[in-house]
C-alpha cells in the first residue's frame, strides 16, 4: 500500500482533487459567478436531479394512492357491515311483525273457539308434483300433531294431516278429492260435502256437492264446516261460492267454492289438535 501513495498515479489524483477543492472554495466565495466546471456539473446534475425528483414524486403519489385506496376499502367494508347489520335488523323486525300478526290471529281464534287446542306450525316444503297443493309443516307427533287433525289459518280451513312423523307432517288441502268435510251454507242452511276435484283444483277452487235438489245456495254465499263426522270442528270458514253448476253425471247441483285460506302461499298455519266432539278418523 505504501508504494501506491508514492506512485505517480496517486500524486496526479491528489493534485486534481486539491485543484477541484480550491476551485470550489473560490466559486463559493464569488457571488453570482459560475465556473465552467460548476456549470458543467450543473448541466449534468440538473437532469439527474429532475429524474430523481420525478421518481420521488411518483413514488410519493403511488404510496399516497395506495394509502387512499386502503382507506377507501376500509370505509367500504365498514359501510357494507353497517348495511348487513341493518338488513339483519330489518329481517328480525319483519319476522317479529309476522309472529305478532300470527299470534294475534291465534288469540282471535282462541276467543272464537275456546274449546280448540292449537299447535302453531310453519310450512317448510311444497309438493310441486301434487296438483292439489299438499305441503309439509315443521311439527309432528312429538309436538302433539296426529293424523286427521284439521289445519287452519285465521282466514279459514286449509286441510288436514294425512302423514305424521316425529317432527314433520304432510297437509292435504281442501282442493284434494281425498278430503271430505261436512259443510253448510249459513244463509240457506243447505248441507253438503266439500271435496276436491281435479279440474277445479287447477283453478285453485274446490267443490261443495251432494246438495239437495231444492238447494238455494247462491254465488257469494259462505260455506262453513258443520262439524258432522268429528273430523273438522263446526264453524270453520271454507270459502265463498263462485259458481253454481249441474253435475252431468246425475244432474245434481253443486257449488264451486273459492277457498278462504291462501293455500298456495300460506306460510304459518295452526293445527287443531283437539276440540269438542273430535273423533279419530275420516
Q: Which of 6-10, 15-19, 177-181, 211-215 has the highest mean pLDDT?
A: 177-181
Quote the pLDDT of residue 148.
96
Distance CA 277, CA 158 (A): 20
At residue 55 the predicted structure's pLDDT band, cuts being 50, 70 and 90, is: very low
The residue count for the chain = 282
Q: Which residue has the cell 450543473?
A: 42
- SS3 sequence of the chain: CHHHHHCHHHHHHHHHHHHHHHHHHHHHHCCCCCCHHHHHHHHHHHHHHHHHHHHHHHHHHHHHHHHHHHHHHHHHHHHHHHHHHHHHHHHHHHHHHHHHHHHHHHHHHHHHCCCCEEEEEEEEEECCCCCCCCEEECCCHHHCCCCCCEEECCCCEEEEEEEECCCCEEEEECCCCCCCEEEECCCCCCEEEEECCHHHHCCCCEEEECCCCCCCCCCCCEEEECCCCCCCCCCCEEEEEEEEEECCCCCCEEEEEEECCCCCCCCEEEEEEECCCCCCCC
Q: In this model, does residue 167 exceed pLDDT 80? A: yes
Is-above-0.85 flag for pTM? no
Contact 196, 176 (CB under 8 A): yes
Quote the pLDDT of residue 67.
66
- Report the chain's mean pLDDT, rounded to a whole number: 81
Quote the pLDDT of residue 87.
75
Distance CA 181, CA 175 (A): 11
Distance CA 83, CA 199 (A): 48
Quote the pLDDT of residue 216.
94
Q: In this model, does residue 92 exceed pLDDT 70? A: no
Q: Which of 52-56, 83-87, 264-268 has the highest mean pLDDT?
A: 264-268
The residue that leads in pLDDT, 96 or 55, is 96
The residue that leads in pLDDT, 29 or 158, is 158
Which residues are paired to 159 by β-bridges?
151, 173
Quote the pLDDT of residue 46.
56
Contact 178, 197 (CB under 8 A): no
Quote the pLDDT of residue 81.
82
The residue that leads in pLDDT, 81 or 166, is 166
**233 to each of 136, 151, 281, how far by Cα in Å?**
22, 11, 13
Distance CA 230, CA 239 (A): 20
Q: Which of 78-87, 206-215, 254-263 is least confident?
A: 78-87
pLDDT tens-digit profile of 28-54? 544 444 444 444 445 544 554 565 455
Mean pLDDT over residues 194-213, rounded? 95
> What b-and-e string marks burial along 28-53, b requiring 16 or more CB atoms within 10 Å of the CB?
eeeeeeeeeeeeeeeeeeeeeeeeee
pLDDT above 70 covers a percentage of the chain that reads 68
Which residues are paired to 274 by β-bridges?
117
Amino acid at each position: 500500500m505504501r508504494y501506491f501513495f508514492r506512485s505517480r498515479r496517486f500524486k496526479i489524483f491528489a493534485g486534481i482533487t486539491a485543484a477541484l477543492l480550491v476551485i470550489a472554495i473560490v466559486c463559493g466565495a464569488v457571488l453570482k459567478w459560475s465556473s465552467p466546471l460548476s456549470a458543467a456539473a450543473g448541466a449534468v446534475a440538473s437532469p439527474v436531479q429532475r429524474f430523481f425528483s420525478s421518481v420521488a414524486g411518483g413514488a410519493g403519489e403511488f404510496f399516497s394512492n395506495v394509502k387512499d385506496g386502503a382507506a377507501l376499502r376500509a370505509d367500504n367494508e365498514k359501510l357494507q357491515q353497517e348495511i348487513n347489520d341493518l338488513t339483519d335488523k330489518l329481517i328480525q323486525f319483519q319476522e317479529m311483525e309476522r309472529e305478532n300478526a300470527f299470534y294475534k290471529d291465534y288469540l282471535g281464534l282462541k276467543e272464537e273457539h275456546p274449546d280448540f287446542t292449537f299447535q302453531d306450525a310453519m310450512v317448510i316444503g311444497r309438493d310441486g308434483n301434487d296438483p292439489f297443493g299438499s305441503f309439509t309443516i315443521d311439527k309432528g307427533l312429538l309436538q302433539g300433531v296426529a293424523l286427521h287433525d284439521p289445519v287452519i289459518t285465521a282466514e279459514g280451513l286449509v286441510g288436514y294431516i294425512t302423514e305424521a312423523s316425529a317432527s314433520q307432517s304432510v297437509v292435504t288441502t281442501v282442493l284434494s278429492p281425498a278430503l271430505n268435510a261436512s259443510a253448510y251454507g249459513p244463509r240457506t242452511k243447505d248441507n253438503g260435502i266439500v271435496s276436491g276435484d281435479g279440474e277445479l283444483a287447477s283453478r285453485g277452487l274446490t267443490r261443495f256437492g251432494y246438495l239437495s235438489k231444492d238447494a238455494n245456495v247462491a254465488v257469494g254465499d259462505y260455506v262453513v264446516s258443520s262439524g258432522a263426522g268429528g273430523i273438522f270442528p263446526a264453524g270453520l270458514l271454507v270459502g265463498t261460492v263462485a259458481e253454481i253448476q249441474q253435475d252431468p253425471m246425475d244432474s245434481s247441483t253443486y257449488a264451486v267454492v273459492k277457498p278462504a285460506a291462501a293455500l298456495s302461499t300460506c306460510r304459518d298455519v295452526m293445527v287443531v289438535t283437539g276440540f269438542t266432539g273430535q273423533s279419530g278418523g275420516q
